[in-house]
Each structure stands twice: as structure tokens, then as C-alpha cells.
């Protein structure tokens, strides 16, 4: 197969997805269930939360850093779905802060049950940022480390719900088709001996790739999820998957406004409501989605790199490094992966 053929297939599939496919309205009922949607004060997360409320969820938790915006989202959802005032709750969560993630997870311990953790929150920045107190660059902190910190902290609650209520909870991470374009250029720093770990290379402004940072963070999500589900095994009572919502109109691309605007027009970007349908579908998908990457409301192929022997080696390396990072943030967290 010519080297250019996989890329041609990728672009052909992408154009078909954006121009010819419309995700169907979610219909699975969520009566009596509790759902957490991170980053649900705006965009895809807000529209996904709206769907969950419309479909009868007993509790929909909007997890967001901006509580004022979360309250506005709550009011909007209540008006459009006519759900009761006790259905939607707004809880503070700042993925830039490990302490905030841990505090949020502790608060989740008060829930009677947890049927879905939909990790939608993420950031896309062109410039290199590092927040006070964080060990990693902003996009790595938010999209990777804190995302999996929250997932690992809440897996026991999801598993408890599965066993206690004889149901099938979901952990769904919102990733991106851009992982197909990621090459992790920071690996060059390892080959050249500049750094000894990939995280160090990703967190060094001298060796980090600015334009490739967001796709790289999404590739890391895919690799970590595959390794997590491989270690837990197919019989694990929680369905764990990741989903690509497609190219959508959202605030995620605000740092790339001019280029993103042109791209949205050319690619016929989905509205946030249409894109959110894919999130709710993944959060309702069956056991056949365990460990899988979903796109256009079905199981899809991950990138060519992920499926190579080199991709497997990088996957294992990323798993070791990120798990080590999480152990440093919350000692003993590995015991939750049982």
C-alpha cells in the first residue's frame, strides 16, 4: 500500500463524515441514572447534558471551572427540557488543579450512584502555558493527566454502581480525529538524549511542538485508554471508551480563530448540538465499545501509528510515565485499577 494511501483514506473519511453524515438524535433513556459531564457549561458538554436531562436522567452534574456559566447552562437546560430544578447540579471542577480534581472526586463519594462519567472538558492552545502548582504544561495537564486522574479516582464508584444496581456504567473520554495527525515530535528529544522521559520533553518549551500539542494530547488519550482497558480486561463491569465528535462549532478553537473559522466553513462544521449526539451515543454504547474509539456513532479505526509495533511501544511508555505521575499526585491510585 502506498504511503500516501492511508492519508488519502483518512481525508476521504473525514470529508464524508462532515459533509454526508448527521449523527442521529439519542433515544436511550436515562431514567433514574446519575451522569457527570465535565466542561458542560458551554459547547458540546452543555448540549450533551441537555440530552441527558431530556432523556430522563435523575441527576446531571455540570462539572465546570466557571460556575456562573454553569448556572446559566443549568437554567437553559431546565427551560428547554422542562426538567425539575433538582435534576441539574453545578459542581466546581478545575482540571488545571490536581487539588480541585481530588476535591471533586471526594464530593462524588456522596452520590448514591454514578452511571456515567463523560470527560468532555479540554483545552487547545497555540502557545506554551504552565500554571502554578501543575507539574505539566497546560494541555498535557488538562487533556491528559487530570483527565485520567479523575477517571482513576471515580472508577471505583462506577464499578460499585455496576455491581450494586446490576447496570452498565460508562466512562467516556472525548478525544479527536486529530489524533490521526499526531506524530509526537517530542520523541526526537528522547532519541537525541535531550530528555530521558516523554513527559519531560512535552513539558520543556524548547522541545515541545506548539502546533502539534493538541493532537498529541488526543493521541495520548487514545493510547492511555487502550492500555487501561487492556489491563482491566473485557469483563470489567464498566464500559470504557473514547469518542470523536467530529469538527464542530465550539469555543475550543478560539485561540486559532481566523484559521478555525475558514476551516469550519470549508468542512461544514457540526453545530454543538449535533456534535453532542456522538457523546451521548458513546455514553450509551454497548459492551462491544469497551476499549474502542468511536466516530460517527460506531466503532472506528484508530490511527495507523497506534496500530504499529512502534505505537504499542509508545503506548506502554506513556502508560508507565502517566501512571507514575498520577501516583505522585495521589499515592496508591493504582489500586483503583482492579
Residues with catalytic annotation?
A: 214, 218
Q: How far is Cα 15 from Cα 244, in angstroms, rounded to an integer?
A: 14
Asked if residues 6 and 304 have their Cβ atoms less than 8 Å apart, the reply is yes
Q: Read out DSSP for 273-289?
A: HHHHHHHHHHTT--GGG
Burial of 21 (C-beta count, 10 Å sphere; 0-12/13-18/19+) = middle
Measured CA to CA, the distance from residue 146 to residue 96 in angstroms comes to 7
- Which residues lie below 8 Å from residue 169, measured CB to CB, with a gap of 6+? 114, 115, 116, 117, 158, 159, 161, 162, 237, 238, 239
| DSSP structure string for 77-140 | HHHHH---TTTEEEEE--TT-HHHHHHHHHHHTT-S---EEEE------SS----TT-SS-HHH
Tell me the torsion sign for CA atoms 334, 90, 33, 293. negative
Amino acid at each position: 500500500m502506498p504511503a500516501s494511501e492511508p492519508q488519502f483514506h483518512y481525508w476521504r473519511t473525514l470529508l464524508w463524515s462532515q459533509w454526508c453524515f448527521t449523527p442521529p438524535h439519542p433515544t436511550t433513556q436515562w431514567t433514574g441514572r446519575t451522569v457527570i459531564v465535565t466542561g458542560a457549561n458551554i459547547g458540546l458538554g452543555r448540549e450533551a447534558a441537555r440530552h441527558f436531562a431530556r432523556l430522563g436522567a435523575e441527576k446531571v452534574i455540570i462539572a465546570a471551572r466557571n460556575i456562573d456559566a454553569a448556572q446559566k447552562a443549568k437554567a437553559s437546560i431546565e427551560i428547554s427540557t422542562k426538567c425539575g430544578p433538582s435534576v441539574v447540579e453545578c459542581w466546581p471542577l478545575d482540571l488545571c488543579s490536581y487539588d480541585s480534581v481530588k476535591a471533586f472526586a471526594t464530593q462524588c463519594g456522596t452520590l448514591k450512584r454514578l452511571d456515567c462519567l463523560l470527560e468532555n472538558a479540554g483545552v487547545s492552545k497555540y502557545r506554551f502555558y504552565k500554571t502554578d502548582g501543575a507539574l505539566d504544561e497546560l494541555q498535557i495537564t488538562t487533556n491528559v493527566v487530570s483527565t485520567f486522574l479523575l477517571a482513576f479516582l471515580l472508577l471505583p464508584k462506577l464499578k460499585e454502581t455496576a455491581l450494586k444496581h446490576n447496570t452498565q456504567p460508562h466512562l467516556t473520554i472525548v478525544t479527536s480525529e486529530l489524533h490521526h495527525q499526531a506524530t509526537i515530535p517530542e520523541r526526537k528529544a528522547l532519541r537525541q538524549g535531550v530528555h530521558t522521559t516523554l513527559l519531560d520533553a512535552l513539558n520543556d518549551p524548547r522541545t515541545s511542538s506548539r502546533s502539534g500539542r493538541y493532537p498529541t494530547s488526543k493521541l495520548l488519550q487514545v493510547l492511555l485508554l487502550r492500555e487501561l482497558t487492556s489491563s482491566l480486561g473485557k469483563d470489567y463491569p464498566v464500559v470504557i471508551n473514547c469518542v470523536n465528535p467530529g469538527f464542530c462549532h465550539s469555543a475550543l478553537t478560539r485561540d486559532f480563530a481566523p484559521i478555525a473559522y475558514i476551516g469550519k466553513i470549508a468542512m461544514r462544521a457540526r453545530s454543538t448540538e449535533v456534535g453532542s449526539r456522538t457523546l451521548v451515543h458513546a455514553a450509551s454504547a454497548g459492551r462491544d465499545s469497551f476499549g474502542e474509539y468511536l466516530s460517527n456513532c460506531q466503532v472506528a479505526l484508530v490511527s495507523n501509528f497506534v496500530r504499529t509495533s512502534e505505537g504499542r511501544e509508545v503506548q506502554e511508555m506513556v502508560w508507565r510515565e502517566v501512571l507514575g505521575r498520577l501516583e505522585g499526585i495521589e499515592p496508591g491510585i493504582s489500586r483503583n485499577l482492579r
